Structure 1
Amino acid sequence: MTGPQGADDIDWEALRAVARDAMSHAYAPYSGYPVGVAALVDDGRTVSGCNVENASYGLGLCAECGLVSELQRTGGGRLTHFTCVDGDGEILVPCGRCRQLLYEFGGPGLLLETPKGIVPLAEMLPQAFTPKHLDK
């Protein structure tokens, strides 16, 4: 079985290894739930991030926040392929808030690695709120 266009020529295990390394730097003393993410950028770069918790729980930063911050810090661009892992290094699906964040920087065609296979973000976040909604 082949995945969505562009999914089969990606070394997802190598991308997952970057996410696992990022996860190893997570700061999760309150939840005990470290998360790491990694993504490919349309110019060939790889960006990553980890969650950073805070004693004031609402101020914690998800791994996806760190990833898009690194994306912008290192030159911007569009995310093309994304994976997320938990503290055991297993594939994890990003929450709804994070899907919206990823949509802003990758769009509907961003390919996500999920426990059920590779799927475009459009399937994970149908009818997303986009910048076009602000033009109305």
Structure 2
Amino acid sequence: MARDLFEAARDAMARCHAPYSKFPVGAAIRDSDGKIHAGANIEVISFPEGWCAETTAISHMVMAGGSRIREVAVIAEKLELCPPCGGCRQRLAEFADADTLIHLCDADGIRKTLRMDELLPYAFETGAIG
């Protein structure tokens, strides 16, 4: 199914920088062109000024010329399923559609899949993107 997306998220998690929380997270995005963009959480000592794995993956997508998210995979080393935090839900919604798939993964693969509108049913809408 989306094994390549899971593997990209898992590989990104292995490159996280989480010396304070010791909570590695990886995320991977498949954009509307089918390209995969991965990211890991990166912490700084001035908590909460670091950035989440989803935020890193979104920035890689944007910098590579992507604009729309087709699906996302998220994995955390210390949780069976780790949904995106509230801020990342809104960040994802900015670049996603209501039916964008969000895959929650564990060490073995995808365990649960939600649609973006299930993950964040009342996302802010600016009307500027669409």
CA contact (8 A) 2:29 2:69 kept: yes
> Larger C-alpha radius of gyration, 1 or 2?
1
Question: Where is the helix percentage greater, Structure 1 or Structure 2?
Answer: 1
CA contact (8 A) 2:29 2:58 kept: no
Cα deviations by residue, 1:23-74 (Å, 9 ceiling, x for unpaired): 0110000000010001111101001100000000121111111111101110
Question: Where is the strand percentage greater, Structure 1 or Structure 2?
Answer: 2
Per the alignment, residue 21 of structure 1 pairs with 11
Please, which of 95, 98, 107 is the counterpart of residue 108 of structure 1?
98
Structure 1: runs of 5 or more not aligned: 1-10
2:26 matches 1:31: no
Relative to structure 1, is the Cα distance of residues 60 and 129 closer, same or farther in structure 2, using a 3 angstrom cutoff?
same
Question: Residue 66 of structure 2 aligns to a residue in which SS?
Answer: coil
Please, which of 82, 87, 91 is the counterpart of residue 77 of structure 2?
87
TM-score (norm 1): 0.83
CA contact (8 A) 2:23 2:78 kept: no
Per the alignment, residue 74 of structure 1 pairs with 64
Per the alignment, residue 63 of structure 1 pairs with 53
TM-score (norm 2): 0.86
Structure 2: runs of 5 or more not aligned: 106-110
Paired-residue identity, %: 36
1:125 maps to a residue whose letter is L
